[in-house]
Structure 1
Amino acid sequence: MTRQRRDPRAEERQQLVAGTLRRRLDRTQRAAVAAPVIAAAPVTVTEAAPRLRVIAEPAYLVAVVPDAPGGRLTPHDRQVIGAARLLADAGGGAVLALVETPSDEFGAAGIDRVLALPVAGYDPEGKAEAVAAVLDGLSLRHALFPDSADGGDLARRVAALSGEALFAGAENLSPKAVTRAARARKAEQRRAPPRLIALAADAVAPHAGTRHEAAMLAFTFPPRAPGAVLAAEFIPADPARVSLAEAEFVVSAGNGISDFDAFRALATALNATPGASRMVCDAGLMPRAAQVGASGTVLTANCYFALGIAGAPQHLQGITGCEHVVAVNTDLHAAMIERAGLAIVADAQQVMPALLRLLAGEDA
């Protein structure tokens, strides 16, 4: 039996990426020019249905009060749910989510029951009263909060209303103990998990097991007397004036951007905070405060939109905390393209005006 010889030149021609100034090879095309093999019979792969865990009669309930802005769980919320699962699974309990807006992502996050709170808009006083009512009415064993700006404030309000002690800033949690740092991190406070716990970020891993039922739970809330605050609303800050460390949506320019007027117009149209790579800031094209990366600002943004940024290691370190990354670059093999959840292999100079036209309602 003779074996066909490998032709490296043919493989290289197959892998060559057209339309680039520099010579680029797409190594994923290696299999396309491999020696022919005998075709096997097609195999039909049937994906197994995801497992669903149903706790029909839980021994007790562990409540989670996530921030869930707009009904969407944050990474910190998912970590708090993971901590609640540790406490619930230790003795046959179930996790109950107390939220304003139920969502279909609660089951995958590890929620067994969902209870909608009768709160609309920004009403921390009313939300605290509703959570306190559930805490007493359902005899919850534990109630966990994210120790964030909103979650920490709510946890302290609930503690004041219920008279329960709050263990805030928890950094480690197990069914037997909860701990936090004390005395400028020179000591550690440890005790059995109390009823109210506010969990710090990155203290417990999120739930990554089977999907849970996330069934709606009925509860009759007591009538509420009018509060001292008649109306309240959030006034969004100007994204152009928000620091990168606090920005939720960042559009960043790299070495592939030359039209910075169009870049600033796009950042304004997207209602995003403008950022830049180190090379752009070193060239004086953007202020130093806009630099993203380990030597600039480390982001915790919900979305990072990189235009013409190749993705140096220091820059990638600065966007580790970003939940979603969108990248536009002509280099198919750029590190930023690999990091992105959505990548556009194109010239950012051509993408920017096209996006501006779409945002303005014009034909692209």
Structure 2
Amino acid sequence: MSETPRRPRRDPRRERLQHRIEAGARPRFDLAAAPGDSERPRRDPRAERRLAEVPGTPRLRLDRTQRVAAAARPSPAPVPDAGPRLVAIAEPAFLVAVVPDAPQGRLTPHDRQLFGAARLLADAGGGAVLALGTCEDLARAGADRVLPLPVAGYDPEARAMALHAVLAALDIRHALLPESPEGGDLARRLAALLDEPLFAGAESLNAQAVTRPARGRRIEQRRSPPRLITLAADAALPHAGTLHEALDVAFAFPPLMPGAILSAEAVPADPALVPLAEADFVVAAGNGVVDFGTFHALVEALHATPGASRMVCDAGLMPRAAQVGASGTVLEARCYFALGIAGAPQHLQGVARCQHVVAVNTDLHAAMVERAGLAIIADAQQVMPALLRELAREAGE
């Protein structure tokens, strides 16, 4: 075994001899000289006092605002930001498969939490994370390998058969899917094809155990992680800090038999009728909005769901069901567009889970402006017609 390098031991006698001045009968020492083996320079209070003296004054005056000692020391060179560290796993011991929902090729927050849980399982034993499906930002999400599935559109039966072929051929120790409408349905189809147990709705996960509530959340079920697991939302943190390779994997899929689904098409719901808790894009009005005709026209042009602050609902300008906040509806939207909303604490609690927040307010220091990822410091009454004109121009083009 190699010994840990120790810090060199100081020799006070030798350091004292290095500072000694060979002159005179009595021993004298220059304590301001450079120390021996120590990298920390010794302070000289007399020199600092001389440098702090203000010249041209009859009485002694010192300028204590100048940090002479700190300025005299050589400042360390700035370390350039090299960005996230790239992690490469050449020969993994096993694979942890992740099947994200990834609507429209974008990872949802639930998908990123899935990759974070997969990294916990893979890093505990020298494994690698395999993403089954193609979408953006897989390397930053934590994927070491990527295997596209030969299935287009909504076809859960064909996707389940393709996943069955992958799990039967590759050394996959765990397969993680989101406990969502699509991910949960796919996981149960896959469990039936593999004839394996499924641990559904896991709320905590590590390399030793996986848990979930049962019997109306009165008890907790715990066991070692099985092969098939679906993860509940907010059960794990997303991966952050390192960049992974996301290398493409070559795999020969067997010919997939045609299933019972001949064609499927997603029918978008009317955003004006979608409940706030299920809305993807919410445009909300606050005290800074006076012209609600223009506000509703903007909401319709943006294909968004209307919302409002508590003060607007209390005034009867919007229905109570449109109230956003801790005393109204807590949003899970991908984007929240706040028009003239200052941002009370209970309102900010209602938008805490939104991915992107855009705020329009005349107050630069409003709480909603600080929360927003993009802020427009202007009057909402002037921004709304400008947005409508820009949307009409793009629609005409």
What SS does the corresponding residue of 2:384 show, helix, strand or coil?
Answer: helix
Q: 1:73 aligns with which of 107, 123, 128?
A: 107
Residue identity over aligned pairs, in percent, reads: 72
- After TM superposition, give the deviation of residue 45 of structure 1 in Å: 6.1
Give the letter for the 2:124 counterpart. A
- After TM superposition, give the deviation of residue 47 of structure 1 in Å: 1.9
CA distance in 2, matches of 1:45, 1:264: 52
Asked if 1:180 corresponds to 2:212, the answer is yes
- After TM superposition, give the deviation of residue 342 of structure 1 in Å: 0.4
Tell whether the 8 Å contact from 1:102 to 1:116 is kept in structure 2 after alignment.
Answer: no
- After TM superposition, give the deviation of residue 82 of structure 1 in Å: 0.8
List per-residue Cα deviations over 1:148-194 (Å, max 9, x = no partner): 11111111111111111100011111111111111111111111110
Tell whether the 8 Å contact from 1:159 to 1:196 is kept in structure 2 after alignment.
Answer: yes
TM-score (norm 1): 0.87
Question: 1:117 is matched with which residue?
Answer: 149
Within a 5 Å distance, the mapping from 1:273-352 to structure 2 comes to: 273-352=305-384
Tell whether the 8 Å contact from 1:88 to 1:95 is kept in structure 2 after alignment.
Answer: yes
CA distance in 2, matches of 1:84, 1:189: 20
CA distance in 1, matches of 2:150, 2:281: 30
Q: Judging changes above 3 Å, is the alpha-carbon distance between structure 1 residues 168 and 262 closer, same or farther for their aligned structure 2 residues?
A: same
- After TM superposition, give the deviation of residue 227 of structure 1 in Å: 0.9
Within a 5 Å distance, the mapping from 1:34-73 to structure 2 comes to: 46-73=80-107
Question: 2:130 is matched with which residue?
Answer: 96
TM-score (norm 2): 0.79
Give the letter for the 2:84 counterpart. P
CA distance in 2, matches of 1:45, 1:335: 34
CA distance in 1, matches of 2:67, 2:299: 51
What SS does the corresponding residue of 1:136 show, helix, strand or coil?
Answer: helix
Give the letter for the 1:80 counterpart. L
Tell whether the 8 Å contact from 2:149 to 2:159 is kept in structure 1 after alignment.
Answer: yes
Question: 2:228 is matched with which residue?
Answer: 196
List per-residue Cα deviations over 1:221-262 (Å, max 9, x = no partner): 110111111000110000000010000000000000001111
The structure 1 segments of at least 4 consecutive aligned residues displaced by more than 3 Å after TM superposition are 35-38
Q: 1:250 aligns with which of 274, 277, 282?
A: 282
Give the letter for the 1:167 counterpart. F
- After TM superposition, give the deviation of residue 36 of structure 1 in Å: 12
Give the letter for the 2:219 counterpart. A
Tell whether the 8 Å contact from 2:84 to 2:241 is kept in structure 1 after alignment.
Answer: no
CA distance in 2, matches of 1:149, 1:36: 64
Give the letter for the 1:58 counterpart. P
Question: 1:12 is matched with which residue?
Answer: none
What SS does the corresponding residue of 1:344 show, helix, strand or coil?
Answer: strand
CA distance in 2, matches of 1:237, 1:121: 18
- Larger mean CA deviation between 307-316 and 129-138 belongs to 129-138
CA distance in 2, matches of 1:311, 1:159: 46
Gaps of 5+ in 1: 3-34
- After TM superposition, give the deviation of residue 46 of structure 1 in Å: 2.6
CA distance in 2, matches of 1:361, 1:121: 32
CA distance in 2, matches of 1:134, 1:71: 21
Within a 5 Å distance, the mapping from 1:100-249 to structure 2 comes to: 101-103=134-136, 105-249=137-281
Q: 1:87 aligns with which of 88, 110, 121?
A: 121
List per-residue Cα deviations over 1:99-128 (Å, max 9, x = no partner): 1x332x111111100110011111111111
Tell whether the 8 Å contact from 1:102 to 1:114 is kept in structure 2 after alignment.
Answer: no
Gaps of 5+ in 2: 1-52, 55-64
What SS does the corresponding residue of 1:305 show, helix, strand or coil?
Answer: strand
Over the aligned positions, Cα root-mean-square deviation in angstroms equals 2.0
- After TM superposition, give the deviation of residue 209 of structure 1 in Å: 2.7
Question: 1:29 is matched with which residue?
Answer: none
CA distance in 2, matches of 1:50, 1:61: 23
List per-residue Cα deviations over 1:206-231 (Å, max 9, x = no partner): 11231111111111111011111100
- Larger mean CA deviation between 183-192 and 288-297 belongs to 183-192
- After TM superposition, give the deviation of residue 97 of structure 1 in Å: 0.4
Question: 2:41 is matched with which residue?
Answer: none
- After TM superposition, give the deviation of residue 37 of structure 1 in Å: 11
Asked if 1:360 corresponds to 2:392, the answer is yes
Tell whether the 8 Å contact from 2:310 to 2:324 is kept in structure 1 after alignment.
Answer: yes
Tell whether the 8 Å contact from 1:63 to 1:95 is kept in structure 2 after alignment.
Answer: yes
What SS does the corresponding residue of 1:268 show, helix, strand or coil?
Answer: helix
- After TM superposition, give the deviation of residue 50 of structure 1 in Å: 2.6
- Larger mean CA deviation between 127-136 and 308-317 belongs to 127-136
Tell whether the 8 Å contact from 1:132 to 1:162 is kept in structure 2 after alignment.
Answer: yes
